[in-house]
Amino acid sequence: MFENFLNRLFQPEPEQLPDEDARLALTALLVRVARSDGDYEAAEQSRIDRIAATRYGLSPFEASKLRGEAESLEAEAPDTVRFTRAIKDVVPYEERIAVIEALWQVALADGERDEEEDALLRLVASLLGINDRDSALARQRVGG
């Protein structure tokens, strides 16, 4: 279903993604982090919907639909390393910092800091080209 999208994302010299595609890729990354501990809870899904609605000005229905598409994309996307590096190549730094903030919101949605989620967030931040200081500040802004 997302073969053309993934092909564009992984071109040798990708262009900046159109807004709609960037939304989908970034939301898929939120889903990947939420699924990383093997327990994809309703609280995490709800948090992803709220983040998408707020960030992109979507209605609750539109946000839920975007999350559904992102869940499918995440399932088809390659490993986290290749996926995040591809996003880094096509999304501006400021957007990537906002994504780290959103990822921390999702990781902390269940009220617990999980070692697997922490490790994945450190990896994702690094792969997105976000330095440790900016990632820590993003986590602090969301209360973690």
Domain annotation covers residue 6: no
9 found inside a domain = no
Q: State the total domains in the chain.
A: 1
How far is 70 from 140, CA to CA, in rounded Å?
26
Flag whether 1 is in a domain: no
CATH number assigned to the domain comprising residue 90: 1.10.3680.10
pLDDT 10s digits, 98-119: 889 888 888 777 777 778 778 8
The parent domain of residue 135 ranges over 19-141
pLDDT, tens only, 34-71: 888 788 889 889 989 998 998 889 999 999 999 999 99
Cα gap 125→143, rounded to integer Å: 17
Residue 140 pLDDT greater than 80, yes or no: yes
- Of 100, 93, 89, 95, nearest to 140 by C-alpha is 100
pTM over the 0.85 mark: no
79: three-class secondary structure by DSSP: coil
Any domain includes 14: no
Strand spans (E) along the chain: none
Q: Is residue 78 part of a domain?
A: yes
List the one residue out of 105, 100, 107 whose CA is nearest residue 132. 100
Residue 81 lies in a domain: yes
Is 104 among the domain residues?
Answer: yes
In a domain, 10, yes or no: no
